Structure 1
Amino acid sequence: MSVFSRVSGLRVALVAAAAVAIPGLAHAEWRKAETKHFIVHSNGFERDLRDDAIELERLDQLMRTTFALPDVEGGRKLPVYVVRNRRELEAAEPELPERISGFYSANFRDVRAVAVRASGDETLRHEYGHHFMYRNFPGAYPAWFREGFAEFFSTATVTPSGRATLGKSPLSNVQVLNNLRWLPMDQVLAGRFSFEDRRETSAFYAQSWLLMHWILTEPERRRRMEGYLRDTAGGASRDTALQTHFGMDAEQLGQTLRAYLTAGPRYAELDVGSAEPALAVTTLPDSADEVLLLDVNARNGGPADQGPDMLARARKAAADHPGDVLAQSMLAHVELRWGDPAAAERAVQPLLDADPANTELLLLMADARITAGDRLTDPEERERLYRQARGFLARAYAADPGDNRIYQNIAYSRRFAPDYPTENDVELWRRAVAIAPEVASNRAVTAEAMLRHGLVDEAEQVILPVANDPHGGEVPERLRRILDRIAGARASTASAPAT
């Protein structure tokens, strides 16, 4: 399903309009605010945390109203982390380009959004725009589309009375478009720009926003862009698709957008209701200031070369906070990424004894057994550990059947079995994709399992959203092999004699 059909293990980031940093205090109190769709963490003022959580809930409501999407019960809540400055952002993700002020990431380990508060509320809304699009409209979208979509919704507002605005122009983008040199539109459509060049980056984001605004605010343009995206995802050149669906080339598109900007892009006002989102705020342990962002880093699969430093910091922090759930869980994630799975188990087991139905702890124990099994060459011993992991995952399922990680880890632990994939394995992968469609890394393995059972049409539906996405995180050769197998299965069926 495309974005337009409703209006009609991925990472994305937001570039700050200006380099802003607020020096952090030596210690800050972390809290989390939990709502229907979000778990928002912040080490700032509680009032700001409440405002962030409520604003995200209202944005979700506005976006569902805009795209006529029903609210789905039982889905996993999106973890969001609001940090004070660039230094804290780098603690969560060390390899971000210099001017990034937030990022959204979805992989098999976890899904999360992180934003610097100093960059403003638009950063939070931008990052949630990415999550909303990937969860509800998974597809192989070009870079300008992904960033333009998130930028379009970054300025959306909903008041407590339910009055909403949609499509307001971000001042920073308008200033860039009016004062900086534009990139050639063929370069924007191709996603060619350098993060190292501040002017190029700013122009790319601003022009992507303007192009998306031009598209989303007029039904006929939405229809034409749907055809353009379908053709380019299918292998057509951008020039050909642009001529076919818009009757213009890239240079003419740029001229059209300049005229659109001069005329003044308009915004819409609507009413989405005034119900106050339910919210619960919890103060996190003192250890959070030391360990929470290290945990985000480890969950995100941080760089291999930072392993020794991360292990040293994690082990010291865990020793300083014995019995602390946050500290010991963080240590387990770090050990699983860079250290010893047995050490991860030793950190988690006492916590699990005290809280035997804790889904996160059960997932950690299963991950530890799977990781240890992955390092073995003896098939019987490896299967013994995988079987133990599935025991923990069965308990996690009983506690929370709405977590995609349960299904994907059970299926992953079965991959060396002589009868893999069984129909049950296919169903596990199917459910993992259905629950978290934004986790692109699950799609290739799901399609491969389906093809083993002759489910050609379903395999194609699963793989197509990422098949031509250069930013989808999958190896292009693997995706091409899957598409070739689908084409071969179709050809074989077509040439088979009738009976």
Structure 2
Amino acid sequence: MKKYVFALAAAFAVVAAPAHAADKWFEAKSDHFIVYSAGSEKDAQTLAASLERLDNALRMFGGVSTASKEVPDAVKLTVYQFGRTSDIAELHSAANSGVAGFFIPRAGRSVAFVPLRPDRERTPGTRSEQRDIDPAKVLFHEYTHYFMFQNAAAAYPFWYVEGFAELFGTLNLTDNGFNLGEAPTHRADALKYLSIDVRKLFDPPLKGNDGTMVMKQYAYGWMAVSYLSFEPTRKGQLADYLRRINAGEANLVAAEKAFGDLDKLQRDLEDYRKGRVRAVAVNYANYTPPAVRVRAVREDEAERMKLHISSTRGVTERRAASLVAPARELVARYPNSVPVLLAATEAEFDAKNLAQSEALAKRVLAIEPASVDARLYLANIAVQRAQDDPAQYKIARENFVAANRADPNQPLALMGYYLSFVLAGETPPEDALIALDRAYDLAPFDGGLRTTLAHQLLLENRDKEALLLLGPIVNDPHSGKRAERFRGLIEKMNAGDRAPLLARLAPTNKKDGDKRDDEDDDS
């Protein structure tokens, strides 16, 4: 699997600084979110509450139960709020790009990073660029993706995925409700100057999908979702279209059957673009703010936060090696701190120092015997060692089982248990198959889990279900050559040759440098 490229701003270059007190951090927990904020207690509480209100709006719009029920911590999205926009861009390895936030969906550890403050504070009388992307809108957009696949995983076409996320990215919260439907000002140029071609929107060309085409998919995806959702004469058409797509109909065929005359739809969208956008205002009769629990983060937790953010974001091998010394310094200062020991465990693991990582994980278990994270590290260390000693798969399996006993809702433990059989060349027993299904139920947004389950379904000759799981990869223009290769493999399977797709999806435990031929194409 490709590692994320990582770079930090100067403000984050020093991980441990014993000469001064740790920065203050606050943790806010709600039913679906964990927020760590380097701002004030109010900053942490406000962000968690805003995200809960977005989640509620998505539930209302999507027909999902709005009855608030707290999900396990392993399923919650963790958001880190710190620094300025430029710090987030550096963290994303895109210095000076203006990246105002980003999101990494993955089983057991979905995370998002947003700035606490913009690079330049806006004050009355100063020039303001109205098309700057608001960090809150970025986070709302990305969480909408997460929500979509968490609550209604299906083979959505790219224009709909991004259009739906753009629609909720501009959600405005009011005192006792929300307004939905505001046009995304950061797409204004694309909406104004780029032409509409609904056929290419619904069925983009496999080649020549350049930046302009992707811009259109975002901008006109929003416009199509907005129009089809709020135009009374089109009621039910969008849902019908999505049902047809997921039943296996071709993109244009589904569009023509659901929307009727596509030339008329194009004219209607042109009129919609030139007129006023439709929107809805929702006001709750008895509005109750979301429940949010806030605590000040302890000194040891705060001191390890920068190291933790580095590792959580994902590191290159060079960056991983540079974090070992600061991690060991933190352990020397806080030898009995579980958060510090776990952060150091991850730093040593990323640097391939397996013996040191194992020792730290065992120190965590001596302090906190039910630590799920420590068990997962011990399991993953054994998986790494199994590249040379297959007997290690049994040790990995024992630790995945222990992690599952401590937290039955940890998807990484469930998936790891299944993989401990597959990677060892053994036939997974029934409880391992059930574990894989349960892991996917908990984290359907995780790409690796999605392809692993698709492989298992193909082995069981459940081809239609497997292809539905692969739909988001095949329909994503950001997947580049990877998407093209999957399309080719699926075409071969449909022609009767299933072996190439099975081989491509098969889980592996390869050594460094032995990556698949398309793992370095994606951006």
Report the counterpart of residue 83 of structure 2 in structure 1: 84
Q: 1:414 is paired with a residue of what secondary structure?
A: helix
Report the counterpart of residue 33 of structure 2 in structure 1: 38
Q: 2:397 is paired with a residue of what secondary structure?
A: helix
> Quick one: which of 257, 260, 269 aligns to 2:269?
257
Report the counterpart of residue 137 of structure 1 in structure 2: 152
Deviation at 1:354, TM superposition (A): 0.8
Change (3 A) 1:219 1:433: farther
Deviation at 1:255, TM superposition (A): 5.4
CA deviation vs aligned residue, 1:67-90 (integer Å, no higher than 9, x gap): 121256645211112222234325
TM-score by length of 1: 0.77
Q: 2:183 is paired with a residue of what secondary structure?
A: coil
Report the counterpart of residue 266 of structure 1 in structure 2: 278
Q: Does 1:276 align with 2:283?
A: no
**What RMSD in Å do the two structures reach over aligned CA positions?**
4.0
Change (3 A) 1:387 1:419: closer
Report the counterpart of residue 448 of structure 2 in structure 1: 441
Report the counterpart of residue 164 of structure 1 in structure 2: 178
CA deviation vs aligned residue, 1:145-180 (integer Å, no higher than 9, x gap): 33322221123244454x33222334444x5467x6
Report the counterpart of residue 364 of structure 2 in structure 1: 351
Aligned residue-pair number: 459
User: Which residue type is aligned with residue 386 of structure 1?
Assistant: Y
Runs of 5+ consecutive residues of structure 1 not aligned to the other structure: 1-8, 12-20, 491-499
Q: 1:264 is paired with a residue of what secondary structure?
A: coil
Deviation at 1:482, TM superposition (A): 6.9
Alignment of 1:90-489 (within 5 A): 90=89, 92-94=91-93, 98-108=97-107, 110-117=109-116, 118=118, 119-159=134-174, 161=176, 163-173=177-187, 175-176=188-189, 181-182=193-194, 185=197, 190=204, 192-194=209-211, 205-218=218-231, 221=234, 223-226=236-239, 245-246=258-259, 256-272=268-284, 274-286=287-299, 288=301, 291-373=304-386, 375-376=387-388, 378=389, 382-383=390-391, 385-456=392-463, 458-460=465-467, 462-464=469-471, 466=473, 468-469=475-476, 471=478, 477=485, 481=489, 488=496
TM-score by length of 2: 0.74
Change (3 A) 1:262 1:465: closer
User: Which residue type is aligned with residue 434 of structure 1?
Assistant: D
User: Which residue type is aligned with residue 216 of structure 1?
Assistant: S
Deviation at 1:221, TM superposition (A): 4.1
Change (3 A) 1:206 1:487: closer
Deviation at 1:107, TM superposition (A): 3.0
Would the aligned equivalents of 2:197 and 2:266 in 1 still touch at CA under 8 Å? yes
CA deviation vs aligned residue, 1:402-435 (integer Å, no higher than 9, x gap): 1211100111111144542332222121111111
Change (3 A) 1:479 1:411: farther
Runs of 5+ consecutive residues of structure 2 not aligned to the other structure: 4-8, 14-19, 119-133, 499-523
In 2, the alpha carbon distance for the partners of 1:22 and 1:185 equals 45
User: Which residue type is aligned with residue 128 of structure 1?
Assistant: Y
User: Which residue type is aligned with residue 126 of structure 1?
Assistant: H
Change (3 A) 1:143 1:461: closer
User: Which residue type is aligned with residue 50 of structure 1?
Assistant: Q
User: Which residue type is aligned with residue 348 of structure 2?
Assistant: E
Would the aligned equivalents of 1:228 and 1:241 in 2 still touch at CA under 8 Å? yes
Change (3 A) 1:169 1:477: closer
Deviation at 1:310, TM superposition (A): 3.8
Deviation at 1:36, TM superposition (A): 1.0
Deviation at 1:462, TM superposition (A): 4.3
CA deviation vs aligned residue, 1:119-147 (integer Å, no higher than 9, x gap): 44323322221211121232343444333
In 2, the alpha carbon distance for the partners of 1:367 and 1:453 equals 27
In 2, the alpha carbon distance for the partners of 1:256 and 1:146 equals 21
User: Which residue type is aligned with residue 94 of structure 1?
Assistant: S
In 2, the alpha carbon distance for the partners of 1:280 and 1:336 equals 32
Greater shift in the superposed pair: 149-158 or 303-312: 303-312
CA deviation vs aligned residue, 1:374-426 (integer Å, no higher than 9, x gap): x31x3xxx22x222222222222222211211100111111144542332222
